[in-house]
Amino acid sequence: MAVDEVDPFAELKADLEHADEIASVKLQNAALVTEATEIYQKVINLEDSSEGAVRLKEKAITKLGKLYARQNQADRIGAMLTDLRPTFATFPKAKTAKLVRVLLDSMSKIPDSLQLQVDLCKQSVEWTITEKRTFLRQRLQTKLCELYRIQKEYIQALELLDGLVKEVKRLDDKNLLIEIFLIETRVHYELSNVPRAKGSLTGARACANSTYCPPMLQAEMDMLAGTLCAEESDFKTGFSYFYEAFECNNQFGEEGENGNQNATLCLKYMLLCKIMLKQKDEVNNIINGKYAVKYQGVNMEAMGAIATASNERSLQKFEKALDDFDEVLRGDLFIKSHLEALYDSLLQDNLCKIIEPYSRVEVEHIATLIDLPQAQVHKKLSQMILDRKFQGILDQGAGCLVVFDDEEESAIYPNALNTIKNMEKVVTKLSEKAAKCYSDTLQPAVTEKKKEEEKK
């Protein structure tokens, strides 16, 4: 810009900087919120459609959406998406797609706004079809699939995903196809269909190998791969994937709050893998390591309590940890499923330890020693008998468990069977030799008879 030229947007830029200063603080004063909102609205409503004006409008739309999200005003963000449609007509299509997704992502941080997000996505999809904005429509439908998954409306999600996969494959949009496959992986995993989930994840990896994959998208892929490995009880490989995802989130996700949440989640899953592998030293190293210090909080405390209970094989401490950190542990589908398996294993080990000295013991006494309801202990003992964890029966009339001594396997029967097999081989060989000797004895007589017949 020449020295004598004046920036026509200098005053608006100054106003925007002032509004940003107001919005950067956690606002309690309604007057300040109104002032910042009015400044952003003034910039958005500019009739100028030049390149500089479009940049200012883009900044104002983004900042206003974040301000509404901080104030938990989801309805205002929804109204923005509707009111800005005439303004979006003057924007480049790629910029419009970016702004719509930014506003929807801002709304996703507001509690209890899920249904409103679904409704807005559906309305926006109808608008994109009318305006023939295919690029934006596909991304909105991808967002809608993720919202359906969160709502647990899996049938609608899978139907929409099938159509999107076919359409995006024809357009060869690799990055969007990766996102679609990852959503499909999550849907199948939540439906407990691990083979289909692995198939979708393989599709995402194939796309990632043929194009540049953003680091955070690669981290999401690694996290899902670790989850599926852990579902197949391969916790060692699962830990490796979670570690890769943690490294990526720790390096590239520091700018946003969501990145830190993902890193914490990866760290929590890493600890779970080590707990399931019963590597207590590794668990302590991770919790006390330099990375965990940065992410200390309720998640690390919860996993530390579970690790302590597992090391001491204490059901009481295990249940106390579950009660104290109910939302952190039971609220996570992945953590909950594996902790149930860990609890079952601890319960089984404790019961075996208690009944070991007895040949006959009351179930009520076992329940008292293990400090659990008698009905639960009775059910678990029945299951262990059926699974042949020990030999015994439950005497329902007397309310007792009768434990049988393990019978030592006698070597007589295997030895007798081996002897019979060897005798069979001997008899077979002797029969073969006898048959051969008999044929050799008859052969000269048969030959002589044939010669006499030929002479005649």
**Cα separation, 89 vs 66, whole angstroms:** 22
Identify the pLDDT of residue 225. Answer: 93
Q: Is 307 exposed, middle or buried (0-12, 13-18, 19+ CB in 10 A)?
A: buried
- Structural tokens at position 103: 């506003």
Q: What does the pLDDT look like over 265-282, one tens digit per residue?
A: 888 899 889 888 888 778
| Residue 258 reports pLDDT greater than 50 | no
What pLDDT is attached to residue 133? Answer: 86
Evaluate if residue 103 carries a pLDDT over 90.
no
Least confident of 34-43, 111-120, 164-173, 366-375: 34-43
Q: Which two tokens stand for residue 415?
A: 């030895």
Most confident of the ranges 36-40, 395-399, 414-418? 414-418
Average pLDDT, the chain: 82
pLDDT at 148: 92
Alpha carbon distance 195, 327 (integer Å): 29
Q: Which helix (H) or strand (E) holds 361?
A: strand 360-362
Q: Sheet with 400-403: list strands edge to edge.
A: 360-362, 400-403, 392-395
For domain 1-151, give the CATH number: 1.25.40.570
The pLDDT, as a whole number, for residue 197 is 92
Q: Is the pLDDT of residue 3 over 50?
A: no
Q: Between residues 439 and 100, which one has the greater pLDDT?
A: 100
Give pLDDT tens digits for 9-32.
666 667 667 666 666 665 556 677
**Who has greater pLDDT, 453 or 317?**
317
Q: Which of 207, 214, 272 is nearest to 243 (CA)?
A: 272
Q: Who's near 280: CB < 8 A, 6+ residues apart? A: 307, 310, 311
Confidence (pLDDT) at 399: 82
Which residue do the tokens 């005439």 mark? Answer: 86
When mean pLDDT is compared over 95-109, 152-166, 401-415, 436-450, the highest value belongs to 152-166
Judged against a pLDDT cut of 70, whether residue 394 lies above it is answered with: yes
Please write the tens of the pLDDT for every residue from 322-369.
888 888 888 888 888 888 888 888 888 888 888 888 888 888 888 888
> Which residue reads 């094989």 in tokens?
313
Q: Does the pLDDT of residue 7 top 70, yes or no?
A: no
Q: Can you tell me the distance from the alpha carbon of 292 to that of 286, in angstroms, rounded to the nearest whole number?
A: 7
Does position 313 have pLDDT exceeding 90, yes or no?
no
Q: How would CATH label the architecture of 354-403? A: Orthogonal Bundle (1.10)
143-184 confidence digits (pLDDT tens): 999 999 999 999 999 999 998 998 888 888 888 899 999 999
Contact 226, 242 (CB under 8 A): yes
Query: What residue segments make up the domains of the chain, in order of their start?
Result: 1-151, 254-353, 354-403
Q: What is the largest CA-CA distance in the chain?
A: 141
CA–CA separation, 48 and 307 (whole Å)? 62
Determine the Cα angle at 399 with ends 395 and 402, to 5°: 45
When mean pLDDT is compared across 113-122, 307-316, 336-345, 405-414, the lowest value belongs to 405-414
Instruction: In whole angstroms, give the CA distance from residue 221 to residue 215.
Output: 10
pLDDT of 256 strictly over 70: no
Tell me what pLDDT residue 149 has: 92
pLDDT of residue 289: 78
